[in-house]
Every structure is written in C-alpha cells, then in structure tokens.
Amino acid sequence: MRNFFNNISTGIAKIPQWSLIFPILFLMLIHYFVIFDRNTTEARPELNAAATENEMQVFKMVNELPHNSKVLILVNYGPESKYELESAMSALIGVLAEKNIGIAFATMIPNGVESAFTAVEKSIENGSFGKERFVYGHEYTHLGFIVGGNIATYLIANNFDEVKERDIFDSSTDIHQPLMSEIGTISDFSAVFEFSSQTFDGVPGIVSFAVMQKDKNVKKIAFCSSDMLSAYIPFRGSLYLDGLIGGFKSIAVFIHEFQPSMNIERQYYIMSTILFYIIGLVIFSNLTALTRKNKK
C-alpha cells in the first residue's frame, strides 16, 4: 500500500507544472463543442445567480430614468476588459435607446476611445433598436479623450461647458448636436455611469468625480471589471456611489435582466465551469509542488 502511494507521489512529482494548462484547454474545448452546443440549441443553461440587493437597486435606478432625459457614460476601459464590460455597456445602451434617453460618452483613458463606438455597434447588432433610430449627434455623442486622470474628473464635474465644447470629431457640439445643446452643466444629466477597468492615482474615476461634484442629485453608477472590484467595493454603500455592478457575476445578472437576447447564461456557465477547473488545477499544482519538495 505504501509503495502504491509512493508511486503515485513520484508520478505526480514528475509532471511539470506548466503542462497543467493543457487539461484545462482540453476540458474547455470539450465544454465549448459538446455542452455549449447542446445547451444553445435545446436546453439553455440557467443563470444560477440571483440579483443582490445592491444589483436590484441599480435595476431600479436604470428603470426609473425619465424618458427623453440625458445621461453621461464614462468609458474607462479598453480592449483588456472588452469581453467583460462591452456586453454590459451595450445592454445598457439598448435600455437607454428604448427610452429615448440621449447618451454622451467620454473617456479618460486613451484606450477607451474606440470602446464606446464598438459597444454602440454591438447594441445595434443585438437588434433591440434600429440603426436609423440611433443617430450620432441626436441620440448619442462622444466627447472624446479627456486628458488628466483625476484632473479630468475635476474638469467634468466642475467645468463641463469646457469639456463638451467639441466632440471627438472636432465638431462644435452646440452647433451640430441637438443632444448637447440642452446640456449646460453636469447636473443636466439624469445619471452618470462609469464602465471601468482601471483607477486613477488609486481612486476609481467615478469616486473621484463624485468627490469633485458636490451636487448629490445626479445618480452615479459604476460598472467595473472583476480585477477592479476590490477598488470599488469599499464605496458601494457610500454617498459617492448610488449603485455598483462589479465583476462578471454582477454583469451577467445585469445583462440577463436587461438584454436577455444576449444569452449571457452560456458565457456565465462556461466561466463558472472553467473556474471550477482552475481551482482543481491550483490544488493539483500545489500538490505536485509539495510532492516534489518531499522527494527532495
């Protein structure tokens, strides 16, 4: 018996740790081709995640936004978080477009310039509204990259007139864009949303913005990627954030609520399965390291 365990232990010790990525890839492919295909055609997987109280609060806020109002969306993520945040943003755009709410996009990171346009395209592709119903300058606009990190948040909060002078295409917003002609200060927006995958000087952009902007009437809602969650959670119940959708689980719940056609259940299902494998891999990897140490 002892020899048997010794042999197993020697066998495990011989497996190089880097090679453990292959079982994961293999299982992932199997899941993709077998389980995912079966699920999409016949039994769609259930989203085994109920909305928390905090998420319900965000749903309520989004639902209560008045028709024909205006919102500002700060797009502070780039391609590195596209997979996670783009779906949520296009779901939100879909809801806003249905309610004829005007959207002004702005970004505080160079990588975020394209993100807004790709999310709009994705939202149009999803088909909840037609391209002809969502016209640049009328239904949405992009104010471009606002330089300066925290200083940019100061500008947006206090000198919005200066920020909104010209759009990303260098056109005067007052002359060419009916949407922006009604916006004078930040308080003219019904809500400010941030989609973020990074902080500025260690502070979430929306928190920095909220500190600078003293008007408590404008709702401030943050969407953040999984790795930014620890930076946002402390502010969840604070005066600075009226709502937080953070991490893949919350984002999946949000999309499930507002854009069911996006089929987020599939992604969430694969994600949770892979995470299960990863946990197994970490345990196994540590076991090999431990066995190797014992052999030495």
Partner 1 sequence: MNIFNDIGTITALVLTLAVFSGFFKPNPLYRFAESLFIGVSAGYFAVIWYFSIIKPAYKSAVSGDILILIPLLAGLLLFIPSNSEAAYSKLRFLPAAFIVIVTTAINIPIYFSAFIQEMIRSSIIPLVSFDESGNILIDMTINAVLSIVCITSAIMFLVARHRNNNRFINTTGEIGRFFILVAIGSAFAYTLLSRLILFMGKIEFIMNAVKMGF
Q: Is 14 helix (H, G, I), strand (E, B) or coil?
A: helix
CB closer to partner 1 out of 65 and 168: 168
Among 17, 48, 187, 230, binds partner 1 (CB under 8 A): 230
Among 135, 275, 289, 290, binds partner 1 (CB under 8 A): 275
CB closer to partner 1 out of 59 and 277: 277
Instruction: Give me 46's structure tokens.
Output: 């259930």
| CA nearest to 91, candidates 259, 224, 205, 234 | 259
| CA nearest to 145, candidates 189, 115, 185, 186 | 115
> Does residue 113 bind partner 1 (CB under 8 A)?
yes
> Does residue 110 bind partner 1 (CB under 8 A)?
yes
Q: Which residues pair with 71 in a beta bridge?
A: 103, 191
> Does residue 237 bind partner 1 (CB under 8 A)?
yes
> Strands 102-107 and 140-145: what pairing?
parallel
Binding mask 128-167 for partner 1 (x = CB under 8 A): ----------------xx-x--xx--x-----------x-
User: Restricting to residues 179-198, which ones interact with partner 1 according to CB under 8 A?
Assistant: 197
Angular region, 43: left φ>0, alpha ψ -120 to 50, beta rest: beta
Among 46, 80, 98, 215, binds partner 1 (CB under 8 A): 80
Give the containing element (helix H, strand E) for 203: strand 203-204
Instruction: Give me 70's structure tokens.
Output: 């205006």
Among 7, 14, 17, 21, binds partner 1 (CB under 8 A): 21
* Max intra-chain CA distance, the chain: 85
Among 212, 263, 280, 284, binds partner 1 (CB under 8 A): 212
Alpha carbon distance 213, 32 (integer Å): 46
List residues binding partner 1 (CB under 8 A). Answer: 21, 28-29, 32-33, 80-84, 110, 113, 144-145, 147, 150-151, 154, 166, 197, 201, 203, 207-208, 211-212, 225-230, 234-240, 247-248, 267, 270-271, 274-275, 278
